[in-house]
Structure 1
Amino acid sequence: MTKRSLEIRLAAPRGFCAGVDRAIQIVEEALTKWGAPVYVRHEIVHNQHVVQRLEGLGAVFVEELDECPTDRPVVFSAHGVPKAVPAEADRRNMIYVDATCPLVSKVHVEAERHYRAGREIVLIGHAGHPEVIGTMGQLPDGAISLIETDEDAYAFQPQDPANIAFVTQTTLSVDDTADIVAILQQRFPGISTPHKEDICYATTNRQEAVKAMATGCDLFLTIGAETSSNSKRLVEVAKRAGAKDSKLVASASDVNWDWFDGVETLGLTAGASAPEDLVQGLIAACRARFDITVTPFTTATETVTFKLPRVLAEEV
């Protein structure tokens, strides 16, 4: 039986970013240095396949610090943690390694700078996301107001409209965030802005690649976790940019092949915490069912790397 033809448009950049690479490497290096178990507070990155692989190497994932014994090292996730967490680890004399993405740490530093300057701070982000919890936890309660939507931006009432600043979560939709920022700048012309865009290069690059290839796609699949903010934004971006349908899947095993009825062109990308083997697994699953042609769509080349924390190189 002749297989039906399927063109796969493959986005680049896709998958792991430098911050995710660094966070995973930190857990691996911690296991090499101290042996198993090494505890990790929250998922190191939002991908269950990554978490399960690290569990197999001896990592133990917990939700809170009080679940960790004091005689074993603990790693803080790439999303960042409130200041109270390392303070508690210090109080308990624990060894800890902070895997917070340096671009998230940059937002923390910005927020503290605005606070010291006496400004009221607005954080554009999603309530409950670990990165938002970590950023808001850098400062005393009430110092940061969270804005999630255009409506929130219109409704926000600062104490002093002439003395406010905004920062953003690093994994937001570039376009949605630009809309919120425009509203804030229209309402408060003097609002202080980040020195450099807070939305990280990897989030921006992955969204730009999707925008470049979505038009003409009958179906667009993003590989990523339901808990991954940047992956969910890619699904939205693909739909908005012209894909007829757009869905999030954790891996090839989550694909409903009925989705492919009438599909001649498939768009494919992966969120910043999704490993490349999941992409290749989905391509292989398509190859088993269709006569595929893979067309790469490359819109940027990423060369960013981040250094590992010094504590991993120090003598035990």
Structure 2
Amino acid sequence: MPKAVRYDEFGGIDVLRVGEVERPVPGDGQALVRVMAAGINPSEAVIRTGALAQMFPSTFPSGQGSDLAGVIEEVGAGVGGFAPGDEVIGFSNKRASQAELVLVEADDLTRKPDRVSWEVAGSLYVAGVTAWGAVHAVGPEKGETVVISGAAGGVGSLAVQLARRTGATVIGLASERNHAWLRSYDVIPVRYGEGVLDRIRAAAPGGVDAFIDTFGDGYVELALALGVATERIDTITDFVAAARYGVKTDGGTAAGPGAKVLAELAGLIADGHLEVPIASVYPLTQVREAYAELERRHTHGKIVLMP
């Protein structure tokens, strides 16, 4: 029997387990995918605690995960364009991707380019689509300056690259150990912490036009203190501040059809125009260790499970 990540109640990392499940059977419009890699994301950890139970109600035992890449094993009726043996990138809206076998709607899949590794492909959906949506939300243009918090994290590391592709000047807030990586992508690194407002002003003497917050913890207020207009501020995490000040929370579903954006991002990666940094890779059985690293919030890039 195939294995999958499960939890039977809300809680911390200790509620996670890997158990055997029935082999899924694809229905109309569905494909059964043997997962080669599945990225993990902070939102999954928050959902597991029950903090978002009203927004994301759970039925136990619950699965976990959205990101996935793998090989199609079976297809259901009405599936066109895919066949067993195809290598694909996709996502699950059923909290099910952290497993050996996953049912995926065929419309939520795109082909994996040969030059994109399994680790990268399997961690692309949430971070990639969120970064894509956030950059488009604030609309940086050539000659403008955009600041991105958490610039070396899973979403931030992609957002800085996508923002640079617009021709804008990008300032990335990150720890000093990640500054060399940011400079390699022509991003101006600025250390976060006390005095960050003055450091940003020194790095952007002409002012800041847009701000993308991927971390929370007061960065919306920092953007406002820098004089950024509310319609040019986007946060993917601080929804309390967003409601208070009227800034954007675009990303994810706001990016448009997920498979279409996935195909665009995968093409950029295959052509060498976009990098997805991989922080760590764990076997499925070490899902607790993977989330323990994630929740320390100091990784450079994505953490991936490989069934």
TM-score by length of 2: 0.37
Q: Higher helix proportion, which one?
A: 1
TM-score by length of 1: 0.36
Q: Higher strand proportion, which one?
A: 2
